[in-house]
Amino acid sequence: MVKALFLLLVIGFVSFTPQVFAQESETQELFQEANEHFVNGKYKEAIQIYNNILEIAPNNISTLKMKGVALSNLAQDENLIDYHTDSLEQFYTIIQHNPNDVLALTGLGVGFGYLGEYHESKQYFEKALELEPDSVVIKNYLEFVDKVLQKYPYTPTEKLMPVIIKPAVIPDWVRNNAGWWSDDLISDDEFVSGIQFLIENGIMEVDMPTSSSLSSDSIPDWVRNNAGWWSDDLISDDEFVSGIYFMIQNGIIVIHIEKIIQDIESDIEQDFSQFEKYLRDVSKNVADEKRYIEYPNPSFDVIKKFLRDYIKWNFSEEAASAAGSFPNPTYEIVNGTYVIHYKIFVNEQPSGLPLDHVSTFNNSLKFWEQEEFSVNEQPAFVEFSYTNLKSEANVWVTWVVRDLGEGWVLGHANLGKGVVEVALGDYECDGSFQLYDVEIVEKIMTHELGHSVGLGHSSDQSNIMYQALKPKYAYCLFS
């Protein structure tokens, strides 16, 4: 009887659908059509549609993100540096408008990693990790960059003017103003001066109405309450800014900054032009120096090598012929306790893996060796030992990167003895093959070994034998 560990499928693209498209059904349909091409690996078709959307909404963040990742994937598919630079431009446009966008920061780190500009890459990963300190993906990328810099020191590409990640920090005095205004301790004009500062410095962006007037009587109570709560850290920056946006859009307060907006746009254009020049310099240096480059996301390389040597890791045919002849585990009774001995043959890892799953496999074995079972109403324990002979092994273990079946199955195991297969990644994130994080692979392996020692599925979600698991990826940007 074959048991399988199933993945609960979660597609994240819905969350990227731009709100601005809510009333633009045609554009929304274009976005969904482009995403369908994306998940099927048809990146050029997706990019063309993203371009059409960006002609209508040039700085739409959702579309820029999808296009940036699509270009990065296309660059890996076709091994063309130009696609990486194009991807970097999309992500940089995002942080010009939102310097704390974690996906864009990580995308910039990945892109510069593919260009071999590792010092620049590290800058973006460190910033992203500050914002999302528990991210497995960002930690993996940062660890990669540190290792490469130790192995291959190089001279970073010089910048005429530093390309700086601009902070989007709301000063304390603006927060204090909000609290005082909420308590009627300062005037509306003094409060508005703080809002004007946010807009002038690009921390808050709004489309200005053609005409409006300031009237404290017309300011809704909820806006004033929001200001007080925000001052006391009871609501987020986004919730506070949404109230300010409401007042400006509805003409309740007036911000006279037409010239300032023009200056901001000019600064953004100049900054982007500077970034483009820097990218050209990086590309030229990489070519002139014949710089050695290790790619930050090894997933693509692993799947290519795996498919090239498919027979080496695929046990399907061999397991089918051996299914009826796996020897049963042996046992002995020691002081009234059953000790069941399993011999395990472990296949080697696919080449190019950056993560060591062999060592974590030992953790999976120890997990079950510490568990107590019951045989004939007597306590029982299992013990594992390795063998290099498949013929004497009760269990064969292998890591695979192929599709294990419908339902996004993460592993297979025969009940009691036989073959254990554990997936190392899938195609359900970023629209390309992505490796799982080492912790997830260990959980899958432990689960499948549980089947090998005779356990079925559990309905307890906290139990390792629960049948569903949402995987975490090692390098996926959308993770």
Domain ranges within the chain, ordered by starting residue:
13-163+270-296, 172-261, 301-452
Confidence of residue 204 (pLDDT cuts 50, 70, 90): low
Confidence of residue 385 (pLDDT cuts 50, 70, 90): very high
Rounded CA gap, 8 and 409, in Å?
9
Lowest mean pLDDT among 17-26, 71-80, 216-225, 441-450: 17-26
* Of the candidates 201, 213, 224, the residue with the CA atom closest to the CA atom of residue 248: 213
β-bridge pairing 418-423 and 378-386: unpaired
The pLDDT value given to residue 177: 79
Would you say residue 212 has pLDDT above 80? no
Confidence of residue 167 (pLDDT cuts 50, 70, 90): very low
Lowest mean pLDDT among 13-27, 227-241, 382-396: 13-27
Would you say residue 23 has pLDDT above 50? no
Is residue 452 exposed (0-12), middle (13-18) or buried (19+ Cβ within 10 Å)?
buried
* C-alpha angle 242-246-249 in degrees, rounded to nearest 5: 130
Would you say residue 188 has pLDDT above 70? yes
Would you say residue 184 has pLDDT above 90? no
**What DSSP element (H or E) covers 5?**
strand 2-6
Write out the two tokens for 350.
């696919």
Intrachain domains 13-163+270-296 and 301-452 with the same fold: no
Task: Identify the residue whose tokens are 């997706």.
Answer: 46
Rounded CA gap, 67 and 35, in Å?
10
Confidence of residue 4 (pLDDT cuts 50, 70, 90): very low
Mean pLDDT calculated for residue range 163-192: 71
Rounded CA gap, 276 and 160, in Å?
12
Q: What is the pTM of this model?
A: 0.70
The pLDDT value given to residue 86: 94
Mean pLDDT calculated for residue range 453-463: 91
In 320-443, DSSP assigns E strands to 330-334, 337-346, 373-375, 378-386, 395-400, 409-414, 418-423, 425-429, 432-435
β-bridge pairing 2-6 and 373-375: unpaired
CB within 8 A of 136, min separation 6: which ones?
437, 439, 472, 473, 474, 479
Rounded CA gap, 475 and 479, in Å?
8
CB within 8 A of 75, min separation 6: which ones?
81, 82, 83, 84, 87, 114
pLDDT greater at residue 453 or residue 246 = 453
Would you say residue 6 has pLDDT above 70? no
* Of the candidates 395, 391, 409, the residue with the CA atom closest to the CA atom of residue 365: 395
pLDDT tens track for 91-141: 999 988 888 899 999 999 999 999 999 999 999 999 999 999 999 999 999
Confidence of residue 175 (pLDDT cuts 50, 70, 90): confident
- Specify the CATH class of 301-452 in words: alpha beta
The pLDDT value given to residue 314: 66
Give me the DSSP letters along 223-281. HHHHHHHHHTTSS-HHHHHHHHHHHHHTTSS----HHHHHHHHHHHHHHHHHHHHHHHH
* Of the candidates 309, 399, 383, 302, the residue with the CA atom closest to the CA atom of residue 347: 399
C-alpha neighbours within 13 Å on the C-beta side of residue 455: 22
* Of the candidates 434, 441, 430, the residue with the CA atom closest to the CA atom of residue 469: 441
Confidence of residue 370 (pLDDT cuts 50, 70, 90): very high
pLDDT greater at residue 46 or residue 290 = 46
The CATH superfamily of 13-163+270-296 is: Tetratricopeptide repeat domain (1.25.40.10)
* Of the candidates 353, 293, 284, 290, the residue with the CA atom closest to the CA atom of residue 149: 293
Nearest 5°: phi and psi at 130?
A: -60, -40
The pLDDT value given to residue 45: 95
Confidence of residue 19 (pLDDT cuts 50, 70, 90): very low
* Residue 134, helix vs strand vs coil: coil
Write out the two tokens for 355.
């993560």
The pLDDT value given to residue 56: 83
Would you say residue 440 has pLDDT above 80? yes
Mean pLDDT calculated for residue range 368-381: 89
The pLDDT value given to residue 398: 85
Lowest mean pLDDT among 12-26, 67-81, 287-301: 12-26
CB within 8 A of 307, min separation 6: which ones?
none
pLDDT tens track for 310-362: 666 666 666 665 556 788 999 999 988 999 999 999 888 777 777 777 778 88
In 10 A of CB 340, how many CB atoms? Answer: 19
Rounded CA gap, 20 and 15, in Å?
13
Mean pLDDT calculated for residue range 280-286: 89
DSSP class of residue 454 equals T
